[in-house]
């Protein structure tokens, strides 16, 4: 009876939590598939007309990588493996995409552009999802000082890691070109952002987090300025980093905690649509009232106990996740052209066979070590990444060699922090 009363108070015939998230997943998938397809069509048409492919097109601001990451984050939140604060990151990404349509050089924007319309729909749906389903839980997360570390920060980490992965290949280009110099600067800025966010996730010092949050904002502004000075365009990722870094700074300085205290009285009850309930007969009959919040908190504590088990701790290491994402994406970029059958590319891979064999072994060891929580396998992975440098002493491979060294350092730091119990 109490469940039924609360259900009526929360909106009566409202959709279940899974339906809200399911529709959002479908909308995001359609958005990114349409945008990616439009990008390919636009690039093909321009290439046929001018013989050149533009650096950026209106529809190409939506990366297929972004779509995969966002859908993964939404799915994890739906399964309660990430807290609902991750929806804010999804919301900020949609806002960034919307801003790219109106900022130079993309203005004026055709309001009937299908990507523009779909993004508006996704933006509205995310706001409704937060308001009707997850508002109470979001306010609870805002009152937690470290809640942002398990959702918002990891999305920044994933985006930065995927951005870095292909850039080291470009270091082998003509070193006298402007693109080469810009690539080096951009790689350095992305690495700084990756370093800052990793330190912020693992640090427990409030002062250090505040300082680093301000440095994160400054780094985002530098990325925007550097990209604009090179191609006269607003950087999509720089703008996204800026919005997220401002949000993280608000969380670190406790500004959103005050907002949560002010809004909490306006939110009546946690919507039962956010709790997957079973038929009433499946619950044992107990005397007294059933506290829905106690049940939800018990489920959250149970999930937290599983996530904080010794075997799972190492899976949450941002340093190891950064290394794994970068390594997998880099291997994917390098191995995929094999299926094209380009003889020159096959020759390049043949020359660098020792490097990539060691690189693949290191990646596999890293994955297995994270799964099993084995410090020995992690150390072996770090050593294998460094050994891969020996296989390609030629200057042509300076980019992949630098990447191997960086990955070795990331894995080594992750293993050290795990040994220390951090």
Q: Is the pLDDT of residue 115 over 90?
A: no
In tens, the pLDDT along 305-334 reads: 444 444 444 556 889 999 998 998 888 777
3-state secondary structure of 303: helix
The per-type count for the chain, helices as H runs and strands as E runs, is 18, 0
Out of 57-61, 99-103, 296-300, 402-406, the most confident range is 402-406
Closest CA to 38 of 15, 13, 16, 64: 64
Q: What is the pLDDT of residue 56?
A: 41
Query: What's the rounded mean pLDDT across residues 110-139?
Result: 85
Average pLDDT value for the chain? 76
As a whole number, mean pLDDT of residues 53-76 equals: 64
Greater pLDDT, 280 or 226: 226
pLDDT at 71: 87
The mean-pLDDT minimum among 12-26, 99-113, 239-253, 289-303 falls in: 289-303
Residue 274 has pLDDT above 60, yes or no: no
pLDDT higher than 60, residue 294 = no
Instruction: Give ∠ CA 79-199-181 in degrees, rounded to 5.
Output: 105
Looking at residue 42, its pLDDT comes to 59
pLDDT at position 356 is 82
Where residue 291 falls among pLDDT bands split at 50, 70, 90? very low
CA–CA distance, 262 with 265 (Å, rounded to integer): 7
pLDDT of 173: 62
- Token pair for residue 163? 């951005």
Average pLDDT over residues 26-49: 71
Q: What is the pLDDT of residue 1?
A: 40
262 or 294, which is more confident: 262
pLDDT for 289 equals 43
pLDDT confidence of residue 290: 42
pLDDT category at 76 given cuts 50, 70, 90 is confident
pLDDT in tens, 130-161: 988 889 888 888 988 888 887 787 788 888 88
pLDDT for 385 equals 93
* Alpha-carbon span 136 to 391, nearest angstrom: 55
Distances in Å between the alpha carbon of 181 and those of 115, 170, 323?
33, 10, 24
- Of the listed ranges 108-112, 241-245, 291-295, 355-359, the least confidently predicted one is 291-295
Q: Using alpha carbons only, what angle is made at residue 360 by residues 359 and 364, rounded to the nearest 5 degrees?
A: 120
Tell me the pLDDT band of 346, cut-offs 50, 70 and 90.
low
Contact by Cβ (8 Å): 417, 319: yes
Answer yes or no: is pLDDT of 384 > 90.
Answer: yes
- pLDDT tier, 378 (very low <50, low <70, confident <90, very high otherwise): very high
- Whole-number pLDDT of residue 13: 42
pLDDT, mean of residues 370-389: 90
pTM above 0.85? Answer: no
Place of tokens 């300085």: 253
Are the C-beta atoms of residues 166 and 329 closer than 8 Å to each other? yes
């Amino acid at each position: 009876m109490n469940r039924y009363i609360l259900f009526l108070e929360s909106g009566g015939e409202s959709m279940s939590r899974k339906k809200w998230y399911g529709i959002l997943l479908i909308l995001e998938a359609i958005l990114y598939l349409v945008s990616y397809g439009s990008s390919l069509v636009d690039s093909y048409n321009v290439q046929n007309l001018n013989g050149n492919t533009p650096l950026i097109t209106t529809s190409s601001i939506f990366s297929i990588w972004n779509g995969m990451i966002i859908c993964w984050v939404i799915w994890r939140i739906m399964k309660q493996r990430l807290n609902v604060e991750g929806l804010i990151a999804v919301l900020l990404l949609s806002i960034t995409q919307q801003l790219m349509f109106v900022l130079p050089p993309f203005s004026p924007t055709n309001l009937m552009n299908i990507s523009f319309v779909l993004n508006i729909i996704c933006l509205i749906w995310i706001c409704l999802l937060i308001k009707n389903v997850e508002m109470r839980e979001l306010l609870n997360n805002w009152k937690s000082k470290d809640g942002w570390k398990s959702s918002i920060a990891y999305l920044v980490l994933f985006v930065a890691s995927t951005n870095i992965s292909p850039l080291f290949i470009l270091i082998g280009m003509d070193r006298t070109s402007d693109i080469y110099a810009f690539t080096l600067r951009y790689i350095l800025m992305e690495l700084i952002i990756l370093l800052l966010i990793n330190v912020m996730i693992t640090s427990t010092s409030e002062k250090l987090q505040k300082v680093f949050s301000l440095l994160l904002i400054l780094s985002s502004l530098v990325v925007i300025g550097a990209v604009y000075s090179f191609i006269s365009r607003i950087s999509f990722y720089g703008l996204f980093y800026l919005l997220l870094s401002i949000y993280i700074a608000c969380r670190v300085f406790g500004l959103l905690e005050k907002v949560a205290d002010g809004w909490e009285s306006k939110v009546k009850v946690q919507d039962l649509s956010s709790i997957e309930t079973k038929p009433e007969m499946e619950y044992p009959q107990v005397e007294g009232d059933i506290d829905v919040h106690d049940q939800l908190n018990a489920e959250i504590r149970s999930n937290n106990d599983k996530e904080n088990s010794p075997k799972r701790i190492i899976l949450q290491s941002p340093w190891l996740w950064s290394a794994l994402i970068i390594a997998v994406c880099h291997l994917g970029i390098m191995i995929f052209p094999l299926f094209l059958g380009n003889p020159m590319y096959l020759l390049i891979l043949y020359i660098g066979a020792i490097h990539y064999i060691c690189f693949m072994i290191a990646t596999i060891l890293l994955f297995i070590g994270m799964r099993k929580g084995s410090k020995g396998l992690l150390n072996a992975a770090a050593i294998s990444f460094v050994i891969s440098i020996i296989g390609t002493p030629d200057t042509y491979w300076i980019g992949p060699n630098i990447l191997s060294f960086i990955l070795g350092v990331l894995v080594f730091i992750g293993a050290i922090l795990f040994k220390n119990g951090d």
